[in-house]
């Protein structure tokens, strides 16, 4: 069975959706460990509750990013993962870390990439007057929130939306999008080749294919 390591920094609601789908047998995978860079991340409790190993590597114990990433790489590697899932892991990773796990590390980001990498994505979409927002899952490369896209979900922005309401709407969709993409990986349908994401050996569109979560 495919072994997954999930990296988190916070609430872990995306982690929860993956734990739930593994527990229900919908995802034929095992979450071997959850690792947080923050000792107080609520996602660690979610992991323990599900009987999954919960580990902390506190980035504030390190003075240099490279030293933290080396320790993180060692810890991740020790879990022998087939797939590393970044779920609200709010750290910029060094090139060496990213290269070590190339093709088997994915991230979810709350915007329609390549729009709005980084923070405050929902406010930036509102400020730009966009009619749509969403989330994108992509393979992780050295570029921040910028690796080859796999799939996205889109939501409409209404006149009533503010950053909080939009974040809630998008997060609800993330909980369907992420397990669907992980399922592709688990079934061996997803790969990375020459900086291009492939599904069933066919290149995925630049911003990732649009998933209709209502159909999931
Ligand atoms: C999610 O919205 C995720 O897309 C975002 O953090 C949130 C984590 O929520 N990730 C990023 O912004 C990465 N650049 P969660 O802890 O409840 O899953």
> Mind listing the pLDDT tens digit for each residue in 135-170?
999 999 988 888 999 999 999 999 999 999 999 999
- Taking a C-beta distance cutoff of 8 angstroms, is the pair 87, 67 a contact? no
Any residues with CB less than 8 A from the CB of 179 and at least 6 apart, and which?
17, 18, 21, 26, 27
Which residue's CA lies nearest to atom 13 of ligand 1? 109
| CB-facing half-sphere around the CA of 68: CA atoms within 13 A | 18
Region 116-127 average pLDDT: 97
Distance 139 CA to ligand 1 centre (A): 15
Q: Which residue has the higher pLDDT, 38 or 145?
A: 38
Supply the pLDDT for residue 146: 86
Give the residue-averaged pLDDT of 44-73.
98
On the question of pLDDT at 207 being above 80, the answer is: yes
What are 26's two structure tokens? 């919908």
Other C-beta atoms within 10 Å of 121: how many?
24
Q: Which atom of ligand 1 is nearest to the CA of 145?
A: 14
- Cβ-based neighbours of 23, under 8 Å, separated by 6 or more: 50
Q: What is the mean pLDDT of residues 162-186?
A: 98
- Average pLDDT of the chain is 97
Does this model's pTM top 0.85? My answer is yes
Residue ID of nearest Cα to ligand 1 atom 9: 88
Scan for tokens 């294919």, then name that residue.
209
Tokens matching residue 139: 């393979």
Arithmetic mean of pLDDT, 109-117: 97
Question: Contact at 8 Å (CB) between 12 and 41?
Answer: yes
DSSP symbol at 214 = G
Which residues form the catalytic set? Answer: 109
Q: Domains in the chain and their CATH numbers?
A: 1-101 (3.40.50.170), 108-216 (3.40.50.170)
* Residue in 110, 115, 169 to alter for ligand 1 test, most ligand atoms within 8 A of Cβ: 110
- Asked whether residue 35 carries a pLDDT value surpassing 80, the answer given is yes
DSSP 8-state class, residue 130: -
Tell me what the mean pLDDT of segment 177-191 comes to. Answer: 98
Q: What's the pLDDT score for residue 216? A: 75
pLDDT at residue number 144: 80
Q: Ligand 1, atom 17: nearest CA belongs to which residue?
A: 13
Q: Is the CB of 69 under 6 A from ligand 1?
A: no
Return the pLDDT at 142.
83
CB 136 less than 6 A from any atom of ligand 1: no
The predicted model gives 171-192 an average pLDDT of 98
Q: Does the beta carbon of 147 lie inside 6 Å of ligand 1?
A: no
From the list 88, 33, 86, 94, the residue with the least C-alpha distance to 62 is 94
């Amino acid at each position: 069975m495919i072994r997954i390591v999930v990296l988190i920094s916070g609430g872990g609601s995306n982690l929860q959706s993956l734990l739930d789908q593994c527990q229900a047998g919908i995802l034929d995978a095992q979450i071997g460990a959850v690792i947080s860079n923050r000792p107080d991340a609520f996602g660690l409790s979610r992991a323990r509750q599900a009987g999954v190993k919960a580990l902390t590597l506190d980035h504030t114990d390190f003075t240099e990013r490279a030293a933290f990433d080396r320790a993180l790489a060692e810890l991740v590697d020790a879990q022998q993962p087939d797939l590393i899932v970044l779920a609200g892991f709010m750290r910029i990773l060094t090139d060496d870390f990213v290269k070590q796990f190339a093709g088997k590390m994915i991230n979810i980001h709350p915007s329609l990439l390549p729009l709005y990498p980084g923070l405050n994505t929902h406010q930036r979409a509102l400020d730009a007057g966009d009619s749509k927002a969403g989330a994108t899952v992509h393979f992780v490369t050295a570029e921040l929130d910028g690796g080859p896209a796999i799939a996205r979900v889109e939501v409409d922005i209404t006149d009533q939306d503010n950053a909080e309401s939009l974040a809630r709407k998008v997060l609800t969709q993330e909980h369907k999008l992420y397990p669907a993409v992980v399922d592709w990986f688990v079934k061996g349908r997803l790969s990375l080749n020459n900086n291009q994401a492939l599904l069933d050996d066919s290149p995925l569109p630049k911003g990732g294919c649009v998933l209709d979560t209502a159909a999931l």
